[in-house]
Amino acid sequence: MRRSGVLLHPSSLPGVHGSGDLGEQAHRFIDWLVEAEQSAWQLLPLGGLGAGNSPYMSDSAFAGNPLLIDLHELQQRGWLDAADLEPHPEFVRRRVAYEIVTPWRLQRLERASQRFFAMSQTDGRLAEDFAAFRVHQGSWLEDYALFKALAERYPGAEWNAWPEPLAQREPAALQEARRALSGRIDHWCFLQWCFARQWQALRNHARAKTIRLIGDVPIFVGLHSADVWANPHLFQLDASGHPEAVAGVPPDYFSRTGQRWGNPLYRWEMHDRDGYAWWTERLRHTLTQVDEIRVDHFRGFAAYWRVPHDAPDATRGQWIRGPGEALFRAAERTLGALPVIAEDLGLMTPDVPALRRALGFPGMKVLQFAFDDDATNGHLPHNHDALTVVYTGTHDNDTTRGWWLGLDAATQQRVRRYFGSPAGDHEMLLRAAQASVADTTILPMQDILDLAEGARMNTPGLSAGCWEWRFDWSQTRPEVTERLAEWCRLYGRTRHQP
């Protein structure tokens, strides 16, 4: 089935509280997708933010980002007052000013938490619902909530710098911490309950409108995360909890010195020993939230770039064989067929496409990578196949208009020659994506809105100023929506009702 979708993270939605969230504007966006003949909404990871406000460096592979919680819904339940929802005067309409938004939202969530627990003392149904959520999600939630509470107790310190009994998870120390921090543990569990309720409402709306939600699973997790602290045996750490080596990629399109991400690497032999149980549970949990999963850095399952922990950049890394099919076959035995999109970008060696084909996963093609004057370039439209998801660009690329304006004259001419359009511009890429033989096209919202300066979501290697872009509804003029719908009609990607 041919289809079209849009790449947009919830934080980029409009809204009066400084950033997008899971509230009314998210539901409105689903309705807009239907109006524009779209069939899918692709998101970035839904977890909490790490360094540089990146959703790819979360402190949990399972928890949702509390900053995405809709405050209006908390007011409707009586946990916030109208005065709590008065916007901060320094909120920015088309940018997430995290330095203002984060403390402002967290303060409101604290108030809601306090009122909820006060009300639950006399409302048995409320207390039962919350308790049931904690039991159902207990396999990850209790460790996560304790981790967050301890991180508050030791601000600025990574878990491996906590007192040794806590860093080493000695049972007596954990029991005492749970007793002493029970109120904070309850708070962090409450926030995850709010996120889960609101996300489920959004997913139900998407299902009712036959919009498929495509999530994103980063291959790695952050060192300072509940996952690494609770499962150190699954990661390449020394006895004190420091990484023996870290993740990254070699020099590529984005950087001459590669990218030193800094995430701890997996100890794959330990995952294999227990049947890849942690990964299976991670995929299962994600599939309770979304319909399909884009697995980030898929090439790392074939072979990953191992960077010495003391290296200043990624140039000294080396390729190490990954788990290959074994991980995904183990997950399939528990979960059934996996609806995975393999992010097979970057430096590809023959083992990567071989692994993707063996698993039957669609790969990705990015048109901004296509025009290097090589007719065999796999990103060129004439080299696509049906089992592909084609993008003009991803969250790591410039917008397509920005990309076009940054090209030299010779490359612009090469693009025009390819499409046989001497007067053409960047819109050629959007049309080519929709016209591709690929089953699925995903366009970034910035490209649909024809934006350039200031609209890029992320610049790899840049530690500040990323993940901040937002749109507002004034930019989705009727002609913009109709143009997108018309492309779907023209290229056979209109919505298919069940």
Residues with a known catalytic role:
296, 343, 396
Q: How many whole angstroms separate alpha carbon 102 and alpha carbon 449?
A: 27
Beta bridge partners of 237: 243
Query: Do 259 and 461 touch, CB atoms closer than 8 A?
Result: yes
Residue 286 — φ and ψ, nearest 5°?
-60, -40
- Beta strands 245-249 and 259-264, pairing class: antiparallel
- Tell the burial category of 87 from Cβ atoms under 10 Å away from its Cβ (0-12, 13-18, 19+): exposed
Which pairs from 50-53 meet CB under 8 Å and 24+ separation? 50/222, 50/224, 51/222, 51/463, 52/462, 52/463, 52/464, 52/466, 52/467, 53/96, 53/98, 53/466, 53/467, 53/468
Q: How many whole angstroms separate alpha carbon 177 and alpha carbon 397?
A: 44
Query: Do 206 and 30 touch, CB atoms closer than 8 A?
Result: yes
Q: What 3-state DSSP class applies to 402?
A: helix
Query: Do 467 and 455 touch, CB atoms closer than 8 A?
Result: no
